[in-house]
Amino acid sequence: KIIILDFGSQTTQLIARRIRELNTYCEIVPYNKFPQDDTTVKGVILSGSPFSVNDKDAFYTDLNDIRKKYPLLGICYGAQLLAHTSNGKVEKGDSREYGRAHLVTINNDLLFDGIKEGSQVWMSHGDTITVLPADFKIIASTEDVQAAAYKIDGEQTWGVQFHPEVYHSTDGTRILSNFLNICGCKKDWTPASFVESTVAELKAQLGDDKVILALSGGVDSSVTAVLLNQAIGKNLTCVFVDHGLLRKGEFERVLKDYEHLGLNVIGVDAKERFYKALAGVSDPEQKRKIIGKGFIDVFDEEAHKLKDIKWLGQGTIYPDIIESLSITGTVIKSHHNVGGLPEKMNLKLVEPLRLLFKDEVRRVGLEMNMMEHLIKRHPFPGPGLGIRVLGDITPEKVEILQNADDIYMRMLNEYHLYDQVWQAGAILLPVKSVGVMGDERTYEFTIALRAVTSTDAMTADWAHLPYEFLAKVSNEIINKVKGVNRVVYDISSKPPATIEWE
């Protein structure tokens, strides 16, 4: 595996993704937490950083234990840190560069194998290495930056001032791939090998122990369940709770899918209980709390009906873990569907997807022959339609929203637009307005349609769905859903809006 030491750059995750796209397993660890005892490490990458190496609070770590022991690649700040700590000089130069640049000279070096002069690279740095230590040999330059890339004599250590991990560095992947070759990585880490090794590890870790898992219908929990099922079979019990705030027909549909996958699932109809607890509550955070707590209670009750449960399975994925490791403390938002469960139930946690990115989870699911519609499903919030019925929730309002949402989802599929958006859904606004149907005046609810494009839900743009499509959906909803006489489309991006309305 490759270790990426994270000095807080926004592109650290991208480095990890690129390495994994090259079928090589890697892990991100905080800059000062290098796993000294890990015998499987083949190479180390130092990330960029929001700091300058000259800053008083800059992240610093002693690289002497790593240099010469492993092949090492410093990126941007990583490259500057190596120079800085080897008696070089890093300064706020005149030649600061942002954006595109081109490598005008490239010397013969393994790291640049197969890369020609003129190759575009992406720069983003205010500091420049102005004095290069004597044993640092320049291997590539841009017009403005002499030391765009260097190698240290007598050791397998390289530094690049640009960011090979970003898309705009056209040969970036090639450079990273060359580095992996230098490290002797076999590049054989694939979804199939992940499934094989994970199932074996789960068998060893769990033995004959019993595991309980909450299913949500979403990709992560479903793939977790199938993996666990392959490892321990009947010792896995899954619980799928209908809180009455799922999409129309979803509970029955997904339950069938799960049974088809051979999972041992208990479906719990808890609709009434949730509606009762939510009656009259309109504050979004309050609603989230009630739904979250109700969920834990139902799950806990089910768990108590079973005997000898030792483990709680969870569909935690890598971005959640990275956030909680965050060295800069800039955790933006974390939504946990089953937060609080492990503490309450005193169970050990098993999280087989904890080191995978979302797209990798999807590939693992497909590898295990799970249905495409289950794998490609849009994200759906834990509190479900509870935060899409704005204001207080009644079963009648939920039904109106379910019907409108169902039409919207069906038509997105029919028009082959479903896979083009990250997430979509209908929202029931607490607004009534006047309309006319036949000869009659109506006074009914408004439905807002939301669809966004995104890669990680942190930022999002409203999806530019075709007008003709929106016209058809609007018509269909107003004609078929009793209680609605107006449909609007949300054209706000995130930020400053959020994806959900509550």
Contacts with ligand XMP, residue ranges (CB under 6 A): 288, 333, 335, 337, 379, 381-383, 423, 457, 494, 498-500
Has 168 been annotated as catalytic?
no
Cα separation, 384 vs 426, whole angstroms: 11
In degrees, rounded to 5, the angle at the alpha carbon of residue 326 between the alpha carbons of residues 212 and 331 is: 85
Strand order in the sheet with 309-313: 265-269, 236-242, 210-215, 309-313, 348-350
Q: Would you say 172 or 381 has its CB closer to ligand XMP?
A: 381
Q: Smallest gap, in angstroms, from Cβ of residue 214 to ligand XMP?
A: 12
Q: Smallest gap, in angstroms, from Cβ of residue 221 to ligand XMP?
A: 11
Q: Smallest gap, in angstroms, from Cβ of residue 304 to ligand XMP?
A: 24
Instruction: Tokens for 23, please give them.
Output: 């079928």
Q: Would you say 141 or 423 has its CB closer to ligand XMP?
A: 423
Task: Confirm whether residue 216 is marked as ligand binding.
Answer: yes
Task: Confirm whether residue 197 is marked as ligand binding.
Answer: no
Instruction: Tokens for 115, please give them.
Output: 């890369």
Cα separation, 258 vs 238, whole angstroms: 9
Overall size of the chain counted in residues: 502
Q: Would you say 155 or 490 has its CB closer to ligand XMP?
A: 490
Q: Would you say 132 or 241 has its CB closer to ligand XMP?
A: 241
Q: Would you say 18 or 450 has its CB closer to ligand XMP?
A: 450
Task: Kindly report the backbone phi and psi dihedral angles of residue 428, in degrees, each rounded to the nearest multiple of 5, phi listed first.
Answer: -95, 115
Q: Would you say 115 or 452 has its CB closer to ligand XMP?
A: 452
Cα separation, 72 vs 150, whole angstroms: 12
Catalytic residue among 26, 84, 125, 163: 163
* DSSP category for residue 378: P
Q: Smallest gap, in angstroms, from Cβ of residue 216 to ligand XMP?
A: 8
CB-count burial class (<10 Å; 0-12, 13-18, 19+) for 291: buried
Task: Kindly report the backbone phi and psi dihedral angles of residue 135, in degrees, each rounded to the nearest multiple of 5, phi listed first.
Answer: -90, 5
Instruction: Tokens for 59, please give them.
Output: 């992240």
Has 163 been annotated as catalytic?
yes
The total of other beta-carbon atoms located within 10 Å of residue 18's CB is 21
Has 76 been annotated as catalytic?
yes
Q: Would you say 52 or 493 has its CB closer to ligand XMP?
A: 493
Indicate the SS3 state at residue 168. coil
Q: Smallest gap, in angstroms, from Cβ of residue 381 to ligand XMP?
A: 3
Task: Confirm whether residue 222 is marked as ligand binding.
Answer: yes
Cα separation, 75 vs 81, whole angstroms: 9
Cβ contacts of 256 within 8 Å, gap of 6 or more: none
Cα separation, 357 vs 347, whole angstroms: 25
Task: Confirm whether residue 281 is marked as ligand binding.
Answer: no
Q: Smallest gap, in angstroms, from Cβ of residue 379 to ligand XMP?
A: 4
CA neighbor of 169 nearest in space, from 205, 115, 208, 233: 115
Characterize the bridge pairing of strands 236-242 and 120-131. Answer: unpaired
Task: Kindly report the backbone phi and psi dihedral angles of residue 214, in degrees, each rounded to the nearest multiple of 5, phi listed first.
Answer: -90, 125
Widest CA span in the chain = 89
Q: Would you say 152 or 457 has its CB closer to ligand XMP?
A: 457
Catalytic residue among 97, 165, 302, 444: 165
In degrees, rounded to 5, the angle at the alpha carbon of residue 376 between the alpha carbons of residues 372 and 379 is: 145
Cβ contacts of 366 within 8 Å, gap of 6 or more: 191, 372, 375
Q: Smallest gap, in angstroms, from Cβ of residue 378 to ligand XMP?
A: 8
What is the H or E stretch that residue 221 is in?
helix 219-232
Q: Residues 439-456, buried b or exposed e (16+ Cβ, 10 A)?
A: eeebebbbbbbbbbebee
Task: Confirm whether residue 95 is marked as ligand binding.
Answer: no
Q: Smallest gap, in angstroms, from Cβ of residue 290 to ligand XMP?
A: 12
Strand partners, 349: 312
Residue ranges at the known binding site: 216-222
Residue ranges at the known binding site for ATP: 216-222
Catalytic residues: 76, 163, 165
